[in-house]
Amino acid sequence: MPTVNLPTASGAIEAYATGAPGDFPVAKPPYPRIAFAAAHVVADARAEQDPWLDAKVDWDRTIAFRKHLWSLGLGVAEAMDTAQRGMGLDWNAAQELIRRSLDAAKDVPGAVIASGAGTDHVAPGPDVTVDDVIRAYEEQCEAVEAMGGRIILMASRALAKAARGPEDYVRVYDRVLSGVRAPVIIHWLGEMFDPALEGYWGHGDHMLAMEVALQVIASHADKVDGVKISLLDDRKEVAMRRRLPRGVRMYTGDDFNYAELIAGDAEGHSDALLGIFDPIAPAVGGALAALSRNDLSTFHGILAPTVPLSRHIFRAPTRFYKTGVVFMAWLNGHQDHFVMVGGQQSARSIQHFSELFRLADKAGLLRDPDMAVARMRSLLAVHGVA
């Protein structure tokens, strides 16, 4: 197997020999859990642009990656934070992305897709009111529904800035949920993913914030398909899961503890809407198929090696996890370059990428080690590592 010289945390260089790609079982839905992968976007690296300011997207490669996810039996969570929503991808580009993905889904039997609607076209500021937030949410929800899409109701930076307490969150969600046509997935994104969302639901304490979210969900259970929480704390997710109204799903957004949360316990389980499912998609279908046979040993045997990889990709500052997701897509040939919207390929160090490479290989997730090594060498050369 090919070998590459990788820097270590101490600054030394060591030879690393890759292993064989994983032989993941080929499986198709129905699975015992709903599994959405929040998908990344492929930047147009050849376009004339100012990379920190512009969002030029390679639409062909971006849609091809969604078809890859659908081919593995996963749903696509579109225009979410993994797609750099609000972190390089603005609402205008997000609408185009949603439209193109919905069109592509029509040609894929059984394709599942849900799309993010939020308030990111309204910049948070002292002049933005709660009523402005409501109108912004309604505008985006109407746009997604007009395209025939299903809504993931994203957390709002503008609401976090404008709200004076929990009652403002209740008022906003009451109004928005009352107006949607079909049940939505509510996304509670923690401050570790986006510092601007600290204190969401009107409380800095997550357990007090949870009480507000549960109040909103209970009042509109017929309009809530589920809630995705991204707090990277399995105990908080399980506590909330056990209190959801009957018929309302918990979609885990915990990229640290997803295996145990999806497997569940005697009192319930979580479905999944995860950014890490983008790079580990080949492993997910086989794991879920094993779960459908109640073969927990195989389920955990497939997913366990992916957990150290995920914890590394999502390490603090967690908001830079998209860089690792796109790096994996490049290593595996889903795009021809390692360039990101907003220039975010610069958000992690060469030591970070080197350890990510090792962990991806140990998880069997480098589908062509020769190609992955050649690409890793080119990145190392740019960083002065021969």
- Listing DSSP states for 19-79 in one string gives -PPP-PPP--S--SS-EEEEPP--B-TTS-S-TTT---B-HHHHHHHHHHHHHTT-EEEES
Q: Take residue 298 and report the two structure tokens written for it.
A: 């195989």
The predicted structure's pLDDT at residue 240: 98
Count the Cβ atoms, other than its own, within 10 Å of residue 46.
Answer: 11
Confidence of residue 331 (pLDDT cuts 50, 70, 90): very high
Kindly tell me if the per-residue pLDDT of 55 is higher than 90.
no
Looking at residues 118-141, what average pLDDT do you find? 97
The predicted structure's pLDDT at residue 372: 98
Q: Which residue has the tokens 């290989």?
A: 361
Counting residues of the chain whose pLDDT is more than 70, the rounded percentage is 100
Kindly tell me if the per-residue pLDDT of 116 is higher than 90.
yes
| CA 308 remoteness from chain centre | 17
Mind giving me the DSSP string for 310-332? Answer: HHHHT-SSGGGHHHHHHHHHHHT
**142 contacts: CB under 8 Å, gap ≥ 6:** none
Task: Give the predicted TM-score (pTM) of the model.
Answer: 0.96
Q: Take residue 59 and report the two structure tokens written for it.
A: 């639409």
From the list 292, 231, 227, 239, the residue with the least C-alpha distance to 257 is 231
- The pLDDT tens digits for 16-34 are 999 999 999 887 888 999 9
Confidence of residue 54 (pLDDT cuts 50, 70, 90): confident
Phi-psi region of 86 (alpha: psi -120 to 50; beta: other; left: phi over 0): left
Counting residues of the chain whose pLDDT is more than 90, the rounded percentage is 94
- Helices 306-313 and 296-303 meet at what angle, rounded to 10? 40
Q: Take residue 86 and report the two structure tokens written for it.
A: 């609000």
Return the CA Rg of the chain: 20
- The pLDDT tens digits for 83-95 are 999 899 999 999 9
Could you tell me how many residues make up the chain? 386
- The pLDDT tens digits for 162-220 are 999 999 999 999 999 999 999 999 999 999 999 999 999 999 999 999 999 999 999 99
